[in-house]
Amino acid sequence: MNNKTTIYTDKAPCYNFLTQAGYNHVKVNHSLGFGSGSFTTNNIESLWAQLKASGKFNKGLNCSTVEEVEAELDVTAWRVKNRQNDLMAILFQTLAKYYNSFGMIIVD
């Protein structure tokens, strides 16, 4: 993230370093709601809940490196983003795109 990034958090003191680090830090007062105007913390709260649920279901997250944590976050974000979609259709579209890039013919 560059220092021009705006970061929205709750009012927990652990985020106070963000302003000192040069980020534009906006604090959301959860006792008044979960957002204001054009921003909300609902999306990240939902993603975090999904990630925690995934970890509990899988007997804890098995992440020992930053890359593994990022990969787990990517998978969880993809699942949340696509939870209303036809996952089989997405799978076949992705396979078709992948195989077409190698000149293979996909038969319907």
- Which pLDDT score is estimated for 93? 83
- Say whether both 57 and 23 belong to one domain: no
Q: Tally the domains of the chain.
A: 2
Query: Mind listing the pLDDT tens digit for each residue in 29-58?
Result: 777 766 666 666 777 777 778 777 776 556
- Say whether both 2 and 28 belong to one domain: yes
Burial of 91 (C-beta count, 10 Å sphere; 0-12/13-18/19+): exposed
- Say whether both 16 and 55 belong to one domain: no
Query: Mind listing the pLDDT tens digit for each residue in 80-98?
Result: 788 788 888 888 887 777 7
- Say whether both 33 and 68 belong to one domain: no
Could you tell me the residue range of the domain that residue 28 belongs to? 1-40
- Say whether both 32 and 62 belong to one domain: no
